Amino acid sequence: MSGREQVKIFDTTLRDGEQSPGCSMTAKEKLRLAHQLDHLGVDIIEAGFPIASDGDFQAVRAVAREVRRPVIAALARCRREDVEQAWRAVEGAAHPRIHAFLATSDIHLQHKLRISRQQCLDQACEAVTLAKSFCQDVEFSPEDATRSDIDFVCIVLAAVIEAGATTLNLPDTVGYAVPSEYAELIQTIRRRVPGIERVTISAHCHNDLGLAVANSFAAVSAGARQVECTINGIGERAGNASLEEIVMTMRVRGDRYPYETGVVSEHLFPVSQLLTEITGVPVQPNKAVIGRNAFAHEAGIHQDGMIKNSQTYEIMTPQSVGVPNTRLVLGKHSGRHALGLRCEELGFRLDRRELDVVYRRFLALADRIKTVEDHHILEMIGKKPAVQADFGPPTSQSINCDANSTAAFLAMSVEENEQEDYLWGV
Ligand code: KIV
Ligand code: ZN
């Protein structure tokens, strides 16, 4: 153990994540993913919103019965039927939690719920009291907290602590907050809400301005010890804070964020892949940590650096997140070093001249297509007619290079060859 403070990872892929278009899952799929989230090491799995449909109720119940290590949470509005249904869904869990939520912002109270602040306060207390009568572990969320009147939020939070809430979650429901502001919200609540020291403060950030992860870290630095997040950052609209980004930021930047999670980071990529497989919703290629390009390099200068020492352009190893390998993608920005390495991987050790010939063909092709694949390289190497005599000592496998490009190479001036030396590997 490192002695670092623990931040609990509350995974809501199966609830908030599932609410994003195209991401709904069957009970069987949720169960499959829940087992993998357990394996990943998350602390809490929010398995669904049982009042929403019978299918979701069955899914939450199945997860609660089968996945025994983590806490299994079910979401409920602050209504008797919701809380009772949530409890029926999680009562079979080894560690059940009821998560009750009610909006506190005037926008939501006036236009969506059409209730007064007093009614809101009463409903929140009643729901938490009821939830507590079923279950020791009760979370409460004042929805749209970041656009709510802070005095009112403090009143509601103090009241639900009295009613038995053990976790207080502060949702940035519409992804509106910026980090300094979200940190201030947490600090104010810690200063002003009686009993706050007895509960866990939680961050729940949406990504409408691309700040979900930054806001989550601002909250942690201000005292939050639970972060709600999703695999691949899926969730309503622009998504939720991405679990893999949170976990890896703590791991890579432990100097700035000295916290631990129970997540086994080597399982991140496999779980991300499973989610993609289940939902059919692809991850953007440049997505941090688990995107297809997160460990791919095409530019020659970068590839050259990577071949010499991977720390030149990678701040974490692909293996540390479960990605099998760094990928040197061969395209028009690639250099000879990467091409030579790929040829070697394909079983052809080329000397400098051979490589140069193949490289010219490669560039001509790369100018026309986006990515040069292994079969293209094999075709380039295998081309007739052979001029191997020009190429010096034998290679591990012989290659064929056509006379035209070799002749062009040999015809290059001294300056051109010097320039070639300078650019070698780039
Ligand atoms: O974003 C939100 O406000 C939520 C709550 C239900 C916690 O997801
Ligand atoms: Zn949410």
Q: What is the pLDDT of residues 45-95, one digit of tens each?
A: 999 999 999 999 999 999 999 999 999 999 999 999 999 999 999 999 999
User: pLDDT band at residue 1, thresholds of 50, 70 and 90?
Assistant: low
Domains of the chain by residue range: 5-279, 296-423
User: How many angstroms separate the Cα of 351 from the Cα of each of 34, 123, 392?
Assistant: 52, 77, 8
Q: Whole-model pTM?
A: 0.89
Q: For residue 173, how far is its CA from the centre of ligand 1 (angstroms)?
A: 6
CA distance 38 to 70: 7
User: Per DSSP, which regions of 176-312 are E strands?
Assistant: 200-205, 226-229, 259-260, 296-297
Per-residue pLDDT, 415: 44
State the average pLDDT over residues 32-36: 98
Ligand at shortest distance from the CA of 146? 1
Taking the C-alpha atoms of residue 324 and residue 273, their distance in angstroms, rounded to an integer, is 13
> pLDDT tens digits, residue range 239-291?
999 999 999 999 999 999 999 999 999 999 999 999 999 999 999 999 999 99
Ligand 1 atom index nearest CA of 144: 3
| Per-residue confidence (pLDDT) for residue 2, from 0 to 100 | 76
Cβ-contact 159, 196 below 8 angstroms? no
Does the structure show a pLDDT above 50 at 412?
no
Which atom number of ligand 1 is nearest to the Cα of residue 228? 7
Q: Please report which confidence band the pLDDT of residue 370 belongs to, taking 50, 70 and 90 as the band edges.
A: confident
Tell me whether strands 5-6 and 138-143 are parallel, antiparallel or unpaired: unpaired
Q: What are the residues facing 168 on neighbouring strands? A: 140, 201
Distance, CA of 234 to CA of 96 (rounded, Å): 24
Residue 386 has pLDDT above 80, yes or no: no
Per-residue confidence (pLDDT) for residue 3, from 0 to 100:
84
What mean pLDDT is predicted for residues 343-366? 93
What is d(CA 137, CA 212) in angstroms, rounded to the nearest whole number?
26
What is the longest distance spanned by two Cα atoms in the chain? Answer: 91
Ligand 2 centroid to 329 CA: how many Å?
37
pLDDT at 355 over 50: yes
Q: Ligand 1 centroid vs 201 CA: distance in angstroms?
A: 15
For residue 403, what pLDDT is reported? 38
Question: What local confidence, expressed as pLDDT, does residue 391 receive?
Answer: 32
The ligand whose atoms approach the alpha carbon of 173 most closely is 1
From atom 2 of ligand 1, which residue's Cα is the shortest distance away?
173
Ligand nearest to the CA of 202: 1
170 C-alpha vs ligand 1 centroid, how far in Å? 9
Q: Best substitution site from 204, 208, 229 to test ligand 1's pocket, by max atoms within 8 Å of Cβ?
A: 204
Spatial contact of 227 and 7, defined as CB atoms under 8 Å apart:
yes
Could you list the beta-strand ranges (E) of 206-245.
226-229
What residues flank ligand 1, with Cβ below 6 Å?
16, 101, 141, 143, 169, 171, 173, 204, 206
pLDDT tens profile 94-136: 999 999 999 999 999 999 999 999 999 999 999 999 999 999 9
Supply the residue whose CA is at minimum distance from atom 5 of ligand 1.
143
Of 20, 79, 169, 173, the residue with max ligand 1 atoms within 8 A of its CB, to mutate for a pocket test, comes to 173
Tens digit of each residue's pLDDT (9 = 90 or more) over 303-340:
999 999 999 999 999 999 999 999 999 999 999 999 99
Written as one letter, the residue type at 376 is: H
Q: What would the CATH number be for the domain defined by 5-279?
A: 3.20.20.70
Span from the CA of 16 to the centroid of ligand 2 (angstroms): 6
